[in-house]
């Protein structure tokens, strides 16, 4: 409907006020929460993912779209019933030990949330032990690790070794990414690689299938 298109457009254009207002309008009009979510907000964010992949929009725009998405979600949340938000999977995210870069990881996490994943973000400089603890606590489907320094990417290998020691490696899928990381490195250490946020969503969906 036109209302859902307005919501999606507000996300694509990163219009925070408009996102709020258009969601409220759809609610006032009697639209169902889950339809507003799926056909409005998520449809918009998916389009942002496509535009990002095609190089039509860049990181700052994606972050603003994510803000608009969050603004719309705030209005919508009280109207969503349990079960409306179908979680396709749960992922624990971390920037690895010694590494403080978190912009890229946050962007990947946001896009995955937009695609329906529940993300538990452990932050930056996260030790293998903390990741192991989180796996035990949250029982995720996926672990997503990010590293931006050649000196910290080795912590990914270390984390995987620790997971193996704890008998947890077989229980989760592991995704890694970040500037110094490659597909070759991922294969070497027993992980899966994606190059950017929208590729990460595609990879996650493949791993969950
Ligand atoms: Co730093 N830094 N930095 N830095 N920094 C880099 C990474 C560097 C390449 C700059 C350079 O020298 N040209 C260089 C690394 C060199 C190397 O090791 N090869 C570097 C360095 C050296 C350092 C310090 C050592 C500098 C110093 O203090 N002497 C220091 C280290 C601190 C530490 O971590 N211990 C440092 C510090 C910082 C700041 C704190 C100032 C800041 C980080 C702020 C923050 O994140 N909150 C910072 C920044 C901003 C950068 C650059 C400029 C930009 C990184 C970024 O956010 N890009 C970066 C240079 C560059 O990359 N051009 C640089 C935007 C972001 C959206 O992209 O992070 O690549 P990116 O994420 C992408 C993909 O990589 C991928 O998807 C994302 C979205 O498309 N991806 C994943 C990332 N994680 C993924 C996970 C996945 C899948 C895909 O699955 C789980």
Nearest CA among 83, 102, 171 for reference residue 134: 171
Q: Give 14's DSSP letter.
A: T
Give yes or no for residue 159 CB within 6 A of ligand 1.
no
Cβ atoms of 195 and 177 within 8 Å: the answer is yes
Give yes or no for residue 144 CB within 6 A of ligand 1.
yes
Q: Give 125's DSSP letter.
A: S
Residues paired with residue 117 on neighbouring β-strands, in sequence order? 89
CA distance 120 to 108: 12
Is pTM beyond 0.90? Reply is: no
Half-sphere exposure of 196 (CA within 13 A, CB side): 11
ipTM, 2 decimals?
0.97
Q: Tell me the per-residue pLDDT of 75-123, one tens digit each, with 9 for 90 and over.
A: 988 887 766 666 789 999 999 999 999 878 987 887 788 778 999 999 9
The residue among 49 and 176 whose pLDDT is bigger is 176
Give the model's pLDDT for residue 86: 66
Mean pLDDT, the chain, whole residue set: 93
49 CA from centroid of ligand 1 (Å): 21
The residue among 107 and 165 whose pLDDT is bigger is 165
Please give the average per-residue pLDDT across 126-148, as a whole number. Answer: 98
Phi, psi of 135 (to 5 degrees): -65, -40
Residue 137 has pLDDT above 70, yes or no: yes
Please give the average per-residue pLDDT across 195-200, as a whole number. Answer: 87
Give the model's pLDDT for residue 166: 97
**Atom 64 in ligand 1: which residue has the minimum CA distance?**
148
**Atom 22 in ligand 1: which residue has the minimum CA distance?**
149
Cβ atoms of 152 and 97 within 8 Å: the answer is yes
Q: What percent of the chain has pLDDT over 70?
A: 98
Q: Tell me the per-residue pLDDT of 23-77, one tens digit each, with 9 for 90 and over.
A: 999 999 999 988 998 899 988 988 988 898 899 999 899 889 988 988 998 898 8
Phi, psi of 179 (to 5 degrees): -50, -45
């Amino acid at each position: 409907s036109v209302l859902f298109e307005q919501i999606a457009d507000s996300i694509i254009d990163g219009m925070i006020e408009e996102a709020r207002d258009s969601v409220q309008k759809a609610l006032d009009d009697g639209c169902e929460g889950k339809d507003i979510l799926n056909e409005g907000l998520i449809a918009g964010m998916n389009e942002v993912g496509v535009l990002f992949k095609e190089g039509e929009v860049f990181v700052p725009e994606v972050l603003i779209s994510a803000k608009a998405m969050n603004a719309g979600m705030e209005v919508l949340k009280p109207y969503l019933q349990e079960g409306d938000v179908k979680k396709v999977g749960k992922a624990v995210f971390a920037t690895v030990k010694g590494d403080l870069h978190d912009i890229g990881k946050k962007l990947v996490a946001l896009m995955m949330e937009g695609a329906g994943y529940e993300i538990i973000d452990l932050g930056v400089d996260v030790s293998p032990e903390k990741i192991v603890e989180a796996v035990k606590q949250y029982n995720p489907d996926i672990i997503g690790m990010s590293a931006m320094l050649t000196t910290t990417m080795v912590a990914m290998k270390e984390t995987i070794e620790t997971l193996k020691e704890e008998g947890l490696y077989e229980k989760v899928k592991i995704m890694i990414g970040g500037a110094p990381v490659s597909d070759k490195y991922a294969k070497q250490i027993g992980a899966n690689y994606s190059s950017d946020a929208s590729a990460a969503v595609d990879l996650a969906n493949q791993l969950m299938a």
